[in-house]
Every structure is written in structure tokens, then in C-alpha cells.
Amino acid sequence: MNEHSHGRLIIVSNRVAIPKRRGAVAGGLAVGVLGALREQGGMWFGWSGKLTDRSDAEPEIVRKGNIEFATIDLNEQDFEHYYNGYSNKVLWPVCHYLLDFLIYDSADFDGYRRVNQAFARKLASLLRPDDIIWVHDYHLIPLAAELRSAGVDNPIGFFLHVPFPSYEAFRAVPGHEFLLRALTAYDVVGFHTPRDLKAFRTCLEEPIVDATFIDDTRVRVGDGELIADVFPIGIDVDEIQKLSSDSQSMKTVQRMVSSLDGRQLLIGVDRLDYSKGLKLRLRSYERLLERYPNAQRNVTFIQIAPPTRTGVRAYDEIRSELEQTSGHINGRFAESDWVPIRYLNKGVDRKPLMGFFRNADVGLVTPVRDGMNLVAKEYVAAQDPRNPGMLVLSSLTGAACELTDAIIVNPYDRDDVADGIANALSMSLDERKERTASMIEVLRKNDITAWRTRFVDALMRKRVGPRLDA
Ligand code: GDG
């Protein structure tokens, strides 16, 4: 692929990650998207991170190499409705089957539509006829429909980074009919797992849109054809292996290791989000200490949880709940020379983080629901192949569809998780090596390059049209 033969790739996401801010938490999406843009050349369009009281600001464009970063400021009130409101109080919880967290306000829905209209209006003026457009995530579901009404007929694809709920959950979303129709305005719609695709197809069976299934991935909608398929996101295995092995000489990593005093290490790394099952995870660890008294004094659990979406009530609440729970468990079990949980309410730079992974005997990834979960994949890739640690992984993550050689647990069952951890802590070296090697094989097959190449190829086929498809 190159810039001249294929036109530009246009990436659209809520936030644009302009590569420079050191120490920033790299979102799951940034790494893959930048790789695709570097390869093909193009533009990344989205919110600048800045709020304004105006609504007519022009996009600001910064060029780096063959990539343009085009960002727009958003009106403060619109942003509150679109982002904190409809996106994160309605779509996020429902996509994670956590309906108790759903808080709906019709003003939020209006704001969501307004911001998508503003995105479309401002993007449309920057487009060229041979561009292909790849839209990311639940914040921007209506974007293709808005672009189409602005006269854009380029191929437009959509990738959902969170789970797609089955119809019985989806129909709880006020505005779900609108969202479903909007999704069918895309040429390609992608999900992490076959389960998400299946859930989407059950929604298409409802008499909301006029859809006919042609085969496993092609759907006829009205006069058009939609591709709905599975594109599991992955990681750059070599990059992680290099970071994790290079980081062993870093002071931060060495100090962490020596502070363990020979104890086994459990690690968890998650944005502070209620979908990540953090409170249950702490309770499961407490259960481990109860059921396996040997673990007391011999195991240390480091949980890294950088805050996100601060200002949304549910997020502020979970933060104080976790402080209480970890305090309670430490108070119950700590000795003068041992604390069971080290709870860090902040991020760690990427390189030492991979070094922490490499030194951890157990990676604990127990969300109550997750689209994929890249931490699980990074943990496995970061292991020393001569003495790898073991992943304990929630069955309710997308990653569990691929990493079947991890220890798979039900995050709601504290005994199951505690037993899973105990099993990981005592697993023989041969078994750990064998399971890790087979997981690395999967990680390489579905890596970050495979993810973006498969998606962009599917979208590109839409551009050349049905003549070449046949
Ligand atoms: C969404 C979906 C899907 C986290 N803490 C620190 C840190 N991180 C990095 C991790 C990983 C990324 O952030 C988190 O990605 P996840 O996939 O685990 O989770 P979400 O942020 O919820 O991402 C998810 C993903 O999109 C991609 O499609 O897998 O299901 O929810 O890369 O390493 N990085 C650093 N310090 C931290 O403290 N440096």
C-alpha cells in the first residue's frame, strides 16, 4: 500500500493522540491507528481536548511526516452532553451489560447528535474524493449517516472497541433504533469477537432496519451492502518484548523488584472503570488470602489504576470504594513488614510498565465485561520465555476468545478467581512455558498489523466497487 495508489486513510475518533506527550496513558487505539497512518499516509481527525464557548471554530491542522492531525475544539455544553452524557452514561454501560449504570437525559442525546453533526460538517470540508474513512468507537456511531447527508460518498468503515450488546440489552438504550439505522450507513462495521458480531446480527433481524443476510459477513440493507465482520485488535509483540526486556535495567523496575523481597508478585493494570471489575478483584484476592493462608506474607499484589472520566459520578464513586476496600484488606492482613495490596491511583510509563509485567508471576485481568482487553495481551507478550508468569483472565473479556490457554475465570465468582490465582502461583515451569508459547502464537497471528490491514483492506474493496469483488 502507498499514498499514491490508494489515496489517503482518514481516521476519525473522539480524541486524537498526537505522538509527543510523554508518560501519557496510551489508549488501546492509538498504537494501531498510528501504524496504519504511517504506512498509508493520511489524516487523523477528532477532538483537540480543548473546550470553547464558540461552536464555529475551524479545524487546526498539524503535519508530522506523512500524517496530518486535524483537531477541533468542542463547545463546552455540547461536550458535556455528548461525552460525559450519552456516550459514557448510556452507551458505555449498556455495551458492557451494566444497565444499572445507565442514566439517560434527552438533552444528552441531542448533544450527541449535535457533536456528530459538527464532526461531519468540519470533516467533510477536508475530504478528497479518493479518501477512505475509518471511524472509531461508540462516540461516533451517527457519523457516516451525517457525512452521507453532507454529500460524502467515500467508503466509510466503523470499528467498535467495546462489546456490542445483544438486542435484549441494546433495546434498553433510548435512541437504539436511531443508532442501528446509523450503523447501517457504513460500508464496513467491525467488532472484536464473533460474539459481538452475532449480537449485532440479532439486532439486524428486528424490524428496525430492512436487512437481509447474504452470507456470514455480507448484509443487504435497502439498496446497499454492508460488511459486518470480526477484526480482533492485537498488539505489536516484538515491541512489547523489546520494551519488557530492555526495561530490566531501569531503576524504577529494579527498585520495585527488590522491594518484593523475594515474594511472588500479582499485577493488575486498568483504567479506573467500573467495567474492569476492580472491587470484585480485590475481594477475590482477599478470598485467596483466606483460603490459602500460605499466600499471606508470600505474595504482593500491585494494582495500577489511573483515573479516567473524572467528574462522572460513577467514576468518582468507584474511586472511593476502591480506596476503602484496599484499605480494609490491608488493615485486616498487613504485618509490620508486609502489605498485601499496593494500590496506585496513577499511571506508570509504558516501558517500566512492561518491565513490571515481566516480573509479575501472575497477571490479573478480571473485568466484568471488556471488548478485548489489551492488558491481557501485553502481559503475555512481556513475559520472559525462560520463566513466564501466568495470566488469570476473565471469561467475559474479548481476549478470552483468543487466549484460551490462560487460566479462565468467572470474575463474579471470588472462589473461582482465588483458585485461579493459586493455580497460577503454583503452576509448573513446563506448563507455564507451554501455555505461554501457544498464546504468543495467537498474539502474533492476530497482531496489531493484522488488525488494521484486514480492516483497511475490507474498506478498500468497497472503494473499487462490486466489479472487482465479483
Ligand atoms: C478499549 C476497550 C479494547 C493502562 N494503564 C496504563 C497504561 N494502560 C494502557 C494499557 C493498554 C491500554 O492502556 C488499555 O487498553 P485496554 O484494552 O486494556 O482497555 P480500554 O482502555 O478500556 O480500551 C478494550 C481497547 O479499547 C482496544 O480496542 O481492548 O476492551 O475497553 O495498552 O497498557 N499504560 C501506561 N500506564 C498506565 O498506567 N503507560
- 3-class DSSP string for 431-468: HHHHHHHHHHHHHHHCCHHHHHHHHHHHHHHHHHCHHH
161 is catalytic: yes
CA-nearest residue, atom 34 of ligand 1 = 25
243-260 average pLDDT score: 97
Q: What is the pLDDT of residue 315?
A: 86
Contact 194, 230 (CB under 8 A): yes
DSSP, res 142: T
Q: Is the CB of 375 under 6 A from ligand 1?
A: yes
Mean pLDDT of 282-295: 97
Q: Is the CB of 348 under 6 A from ligand 1?
A: yes
Distances from the Cα of 35 to the Cα of 6, 67, 387, angstroms: 16, 11, 31
Query: Above 60 in pLDDT, residue 304?
Result: yes
Q: Which three cell numbers stand for residue 354?
A: 512492561
**Beta strands in 108-249, from DSSP E residues, in sequence order:** 132-136, 156-159, 188-191, 211-213, 218-221, 224-230
Q: Indicate if 6 belongs to the active site.
A: no
Query: Which 8-state DSSP code applies to residue 335?
Result: B
3-state secondary structure of 141: coil
Q: How far is CA 257 from CA 13, 261, 401, in A?
A: 38, 7, 32
**Residue 163: pLDDT above 90?**
yes
Pocket test for ligand 1, best of 374, 375, 401 (most atoms within 8 A of CB): 374
> Does the beta carbon of 267 lie inside 6 Å of ligand 1?
no
The model carries a pTM of 0.95
* Residue 206 C-alpha from the chain's centroid: 28
Give the mean model confidence (pLDDT) for residues 77-90.
Answer: 96
When the pLDDT of each residue in the chain is averaged and rounded to a whole number, the result is: 93
